[in-house]
């Protein structure tokens, strides 16, 4: 093989909740395309982030975390994960530097090896900016022991950017020579509506209790261009979105006292969406109850699952 060969391929990151998978995706792509939240199971769609380098292109598939399913939605999310594992060229398994390896990590590795026995696994020790060098070294050894000595292990900090390029080089080394799948400059193949819905969902989940993550779905109803704007004012979009919850009590939580919570959600989401689209937006949010939507195949389909 000559050094002019271009390499490309698909990668997904796995790991327990909060191991830094989505933050890492955003750091590698260089833009916010995956929602990050301290709540487990917040990623709902396989968002593809695209990493462009002179002689390589990596497509990062951000899957929902693997978990033991309790609802039809849970089962569908797991099926989505299984399909992804069997189709990617490499799997990056994330372990935070500040947490010991536990039964959850071993269970996920077992599932990965069962679903994709031939796919190479790269160990990634995340959040190295949070601990000292000794702790990082100890975690690297522990991860290497768990994955086996044939697997490469890379320490990285998505927050500071330390070792991000090293990780990209290691991942590229597992790709076959092949063409670029996406044009230069394109960062994701997700429709903008999906990304907008995810950003609203992220803002709504921030600071809420455990009962909501699975129960919240966001649908973008309509996007229209605001008419009558002068050139000086610039373009503006009106975005109308519905937040679906399963119970009236949850509706109250999302809206907050006198609508205060929903206004906060709107402000936070609007800032992120304006960054994404590069234009001013007016964001109109409404909360609706769709009783037990996670267990109802019809409603799941309507809400995009």
Is 173 annotated as belonging to a binding site?
Answer: no
- Clarify whether residues 14 and 161 are in a common domain: yes
Is 155 annotated as belonging to a binding site?
Answer: no
Instruction: Going residue by residue through the chain, which has 305 residues, state the pLDDT in tens, using 9 for 90 and above.
Output: 444 589 998 898 888 877 878 788 888 887 655 555 444 444 444 556 788 888 998 988 866 555 555 666 556 666 666 666 667 899 999 999 999 999 989 988 988 888 888 899 999 999 999 999 999 999 999 999 999 988 999 999 988 889 999 999 999 999 999 888 877 766 565 567 777 888 888 888 886 655 565 678 888 888 888 887 777 777 888 888 989 888 888 888 888 899 898 999 999 999 888 877 778 889 999 998 887 776 777 766 666 66
- Clarify whether residues 116 and 11 are in a common domain: yes
Is 266 annotated as belonging to a binding site?
Answer: no
pLDDT at 289: 86
Which of the listed residues 129, 148, 174 is the one where a domain comes to its end?
A: 174
* CATH (domain of 293): 3.30.300.20
> Is position 180 within any domain?
no
> Is position 208 within any domain?
yes
**Residue ranges of E strands in the chain:** 7-14, 47-53, 56-62, 90-96, 121-126, 153-155, 176-177, 217-225, 236-245, 280-289
Is 32 annotated as belonging to a binding site?
Answer: no
- Clarify whether residues 163 and 110 are in a common domain: yes
Is 23 annotated as belonging to a binding site?
Answer: no
> Is position 1 within any domain?
no
pLDDT at 206: 82
- Clarify whether residues 197 and 272 are in a common domain: yes
d(CA 299, CA 292): 9
Is 234 annotated as belonging to a binding site?
Answer: no
Is 277 annotated as belonging to a binding site?
Answer: no
Q: Are 11 and 89 in contact (CB under 8 A)?
A: yes
Is 17 annotated as belonging to a binding site?
Answer: yes
Q: Which two tokens stand for residue 117?
A: 């026995």
Is 66 annotated as belonging to a binding site?
Answer: yes
Q: Report which secondary-structure segment, H or E, holds 47.
A: strand 47-53
Q: Report which secondary-structure segment, H or E, holds 141.
A: helix 133-147
- Clarify whether residues 11 and 120 are in a common domain: yes
- Clarify whether residues 81 and 23 are in a common domain: yes
> Is position 55 within any domain?
yes
* CATH (domain of 168): 3.40.50.300
Q: Are 149 and 121 in contact (CB under 8 A)?
A: no
Is 78 annotated as belonging to a binding site?
Answer: no
- Clarify whether residues 140 and 253 are in a common domain: no
Is 64 annotated as belonging to a binding site?
Answer: yes
Q: Determine the number of helices (DSSP H) and then strands (DSSP E) in the chain.
A: 9, 10
Domain count, the chain: 2
Is 296 annotated as belonging to a binding site?
Answer: no
CA distances, 6 to each of 90, 92, 181 (Å) = 17, 21, 11
Q: Are 302 and 217 in contact (CB under 8 A)?
A: no
Q: Look up the domain containing 248 and give its range.
A: 192-303
Is 21 annotated as belonging to a binding site?
Answer: yes
Which of the listed residues 142, 174, 206 is the one where a domain comes to its end?
A: 174
- Clarify whether residues 166 and 205 are in a common domain: no
- Clarify whether residues 33 and 165 are in a common domain: yes
Is 258 annotated as belonging to a binding site?
Answer: no
- Clarify whether residues 16 and 112 are in a common domain: yes
pLDDT at 283: 92
Is 16 annotated as belonging to a binding site?
Answer: yes
Is 35 annotated as belonging to a binding site?
Answer: no
- Clarify whether residues 153 and 62 are in a common domain: yes
- Clarify whether residues 19 and 145 are in a common domain: yes
Which of the listed residues 174, 201, 224 is the one where a domain comes to its end?
A: 174
> Is position 167 within any domain?
yes
Cα-Cα-Cα-Cα dihedral sign, residues 122, 48, 46, 245: positive
Is 68 annotated as belonging to a binding site?
Answer: no
CA distances, 58 to each of 54, 68, 78, 100 (Å) = 11, 29, 23, 29
């Amino acid at each position: 093989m000559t050094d002019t060969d271009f390499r490309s391929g698909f990668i997904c990151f796995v790991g327990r909740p909060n191991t830094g998978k989505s933050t890492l995706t955003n750091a590698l792509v260089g833009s916010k395309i995956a929602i990050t939240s301290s709540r487990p199971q917040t990623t709902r769609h396989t968002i593809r982030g695209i990493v462009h380098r002179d002689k390589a292109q990596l497509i990062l598939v951000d899957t929902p975390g693997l978990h033991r399913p309790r609802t039809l939605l849970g089962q569908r999310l797991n099926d989505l994960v299984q399909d992804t594992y069997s189709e990617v060229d490499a799997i990056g398994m994330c372990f935070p530097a500040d947490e010991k390896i536990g039964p959850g990590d071993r269970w996920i590795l077992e599932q990965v090896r069962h679903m994709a026995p031939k796919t190479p696994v790269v160990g990634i020790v995340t959040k190295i900016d949070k601990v000292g060098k000794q702790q990082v070294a100890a975690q690297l050894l522990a991860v290497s022991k768990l994955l086996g000595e044939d697997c490469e292990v890379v320490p990285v900090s998505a927050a500071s950017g330390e070792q991000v390029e090293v990780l990209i080089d290691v991942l590229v080394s597992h790709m076959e020579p092949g063409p670029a799948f996406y044009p230069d400059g394109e960062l994701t193949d997700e429709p903008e509506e999906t990304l907008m819905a995810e950003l609203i969902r992220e803002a709504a989940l921030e600071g809420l209790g455990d009962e909501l993550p699975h129960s919240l779905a966001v649908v973008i109803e309509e996007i229209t261009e605001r008419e009558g704007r002068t050139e000086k004012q610039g373009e503006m979009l009106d975005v109308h979105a519905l937040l679906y919850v399963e119970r009236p009590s949850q509706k109250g939580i999302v809206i907050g006292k006198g609508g205060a919570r929903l206004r906060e959600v709107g402000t936070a989401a609007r800032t992120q969406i304006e960054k994404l689209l590069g234009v001013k937006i007016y964001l109109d949010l409404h909360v609706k109850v769709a009783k037990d939507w996670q267990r109802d195949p019809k409603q799941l389909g309507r809400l995009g699952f």
